Structure 1
């Protein structure tokens, strides 16, 4: 019988090979490194092979249990290769989402995946995974393309493909029909994030935010975003427990790149933290929802606030604070690696990720304070800041 260690350490060879377990179960190892649990049997005098699952998605113990169920089906003259009707698209998709949550995918990422799948569920949610065809998926995607949501359609196709690949890995699908749709969708136009990068425009933006007449929490969030230039989703999900002294330590599961991130807090940022603490200190989140203090601020809140301040969608968005800071900091001659690390972009060499974080932290601390001071100087400057048009 096989052991977990033998399965885990099985290496690919020039040709496919088998590792036998017991009672007919074996591990089929391909040259690509793929490992499948299989069982050969006869049904109606025909020799057949049942693919039980793919390792490591299906463990040794799970494969043995599935083998027991397959043999039980054969004893009742039922072909174990027949897929259960309960393996609907929604069942498999929700199971896949749960797997991603367990692996620590960031909350904003999970929200987007669920939002995309919500477009597909009414049409294919109750369909058996094995019965869904490429033309059927295309009709679903066309419903997104109709109102011009080309980027959303593109992303949904990718999510659908990942669900089907998970279904293949867990032996509930045989192929990925979404893969057949590459090139069938309208290519979205590449759009750059709207952002102010000129000092006069930045000054106008800062003064408008300082004079925001709406919720104090929203005002503090916009001011904090200008100082820290994190991704909006990271800011919305910031919790009080993550504020440690003069640093905001963002856990890996909240980051797009799945790496823990340190945001050095300037004096100005710490002042905003204390202002927010005075009104939100009993909440879970630093900048909570206006509806419930135990929920994060909603995704569109900051962009809606910018529209209320008079900034058009093609002028400035909440993500644009990152472009704004990156552009100015590069022109201020800060080390490009320090800027990139503070933006939490993925290092070219992943092995250096932790090293880079330690190497540039002192410079990032100085840079973040200099950036906050620069914004203060813009506020005080006499340069023309009146908006036109």
Structure 2
């Protein structure tokens, strides 16, 4: 039974009038919050009394208010909560509006692979080196975002991800394809940790990609050949900066990038020490306690080269500034190009290969403890506390090792090395004896 006769009844209300009930839970609150009249609907859902706002009079007239109340009653009869349904509709509209705004700004939809991946990268950046973070995002932008970037994570199947990775694989980049699978898998796990109800489709395709063949970078481990290379570097007729960089690489046991990006403020020539900031060292992660700088003791030979360089580039801030690019360091291909120009192709040596050279000869020839060599190479140490003490651990041994290594290189360059490198004899298969037996038979027969 309807209790409010018509809209005229409402229009005739005077200030101070109390609640006007229409029956079955629908009522009007006259002059609430000023001169406005507010419709409300009371209902019971799961044994709880709830109130739903229906609208404001006169925008919502009596007929419309009753229609909305009837719809709410029908929802309750179906076992649905009208308030929850309204929130869902509002959220849906809000998401649609937000999606339109993001689209106008050129941004990916919320919950899409690209949107989640970019948030994952931003979350992880603080624990990565700057270069590693750039590489991760660049790989996603080139190979994954164009294919599945705008797809919602819950809608992405293993086949969709596999198709994206196989396009990279088809170009011969097997290592990149496998790394993309690992990166994408971390994006899905990040979303799962945030509460999304889904599973990682990349886990189902780990065996569907070709495994890359591990190829070590070329390095000279023969002392005689190393001496030839050192002499060739001293005679290099190209850029003075490049020659100095090539002269330093064998002595410092660093990656070429760590040398190229060197800044003078990191180097103490008086005490023969160089502290390379942890964020510039290779590797995506920095420990929770924070990684100390990597210590590079400088031999007298290395200091001499740095002294010459300081006179030329000391005011620039960079040890190896780029020619023609202000504020940039020497490019990554410069050193390898110089090695090729001297007649040493990539199958013989690379700028990165000097680390393998040092690792091999220091242990095999100079008999330096392997753990000290590994520490100087900035490789991971086995004990949990090792990272925290890398800055000073084995400091005296490392200082002595770096000087001994430079002295050995100097001896090789001048053909005066007295240490003999152990070499294997030329391989002669026992089957070669058969040729001798056959020759003897022929001699006897004749």
User: TM-score, normalised to structure 2's length?
Assistant: 0.64
Partner of 1:108: 131
Tell which has more relative contact order, 1 or 2 (C-alpha 8 A, sep 6+): 1
Q: State whether residues 106 and 254 of structure 1, in contact with CA within 8 Å, keep that contact through their aligned partners in structure 2.
A: yes
Unaligned runs of 5+ in 1: 1-41, 48-69, 384-389
Partner of 2:384: 350
Q: Take 2:222 and 2:178, find their aligned partners in 1: how far apart are those partners? A: 33
CA deviations on 1:329-370 (whole Å, 9 max, x unpaired) are: 112111222111111111111213334542311110011111
Question: Could you tell which deviates more after superposition, 283-292 or 247-256?
Answer: 283-292
Partner of 2:43: none
Max Rg structure: 2
Residue 224 in 1 paired to residue 248 in 2? Answer: yes
Q: Take 1:358 and 1:71, find their aligned partners in 2: how far apart are those partners? A: 64
Q: State whether residues 164 and 173 of structure 1, in contact with CA within 8 Å, keep that contact through their aligned partners in structure 2.
A: no
Q: Take 1:192 and 1:282, find their aligned partners in 2: how far apart are those partners? A: 38
1:221-300 alignment, distance < 5 Å:
221-245=245-269, 246-256=272-282, 258=286, 259-260=291-292, 261-300=294-333
CA deviations on 1:210-257 (whole Å, 9 max, x unpaired) are: 222333222222222211111223223322221134211112222235
Partner of 2:341: 308
Q: Assess, with a 3 A threshold, how the Cα gap between structure 1 residues 88 and 198 changes in structure 2: closer, same or farther.
A: same
Partner of 1:317: 350
SS of the equivalent of 1:238 reads coil
1:1-389 alignment, distance < 5 Å:
45=79, 73-74=87-88, 76=90, 78=92, 85-103=109-127, 105-117=128-140, 118-171=142-195, 174-245=198-269, 246-256=272-282, 258=286, 259-260=291-292, 261-330=294-363, 331-355=365-389, 357-381=391-415
Q: State whether residues 74 and 80 of structure 1, in contact with CA within 8 Å, keep that contact through their aligned partners in structure 2.
A: no
SS of the equivalent of 1:295 reads coil
Question: Could you tell which deviates more after superposition, 241-250 or 353-362?
Answer: 353-362
Q: Assess, with a 3 A threshold, how the Cα gap between structure 1 residues 77 and 161 changes in structure 2: closer, same or farther.
A: closer
User: TM-score, normalised to structure 1's length?
Assistant: 0.73
CA deviations on 1:181-200 (whole Å, 9 max, x unpaired) are: 20111111121221101111
Unaligned runs of 5+ in 2: 1-75, 100-108, 418-446
Q: Take 2:325 and 2:160, find their aligned partners in 1: how far apart are those partners? A: 40
Q: State whether residues 264 and 368 of structure 1, in contact with CA within 8 Å, keep that contact through their aligned partners in structure 2.
A: yes
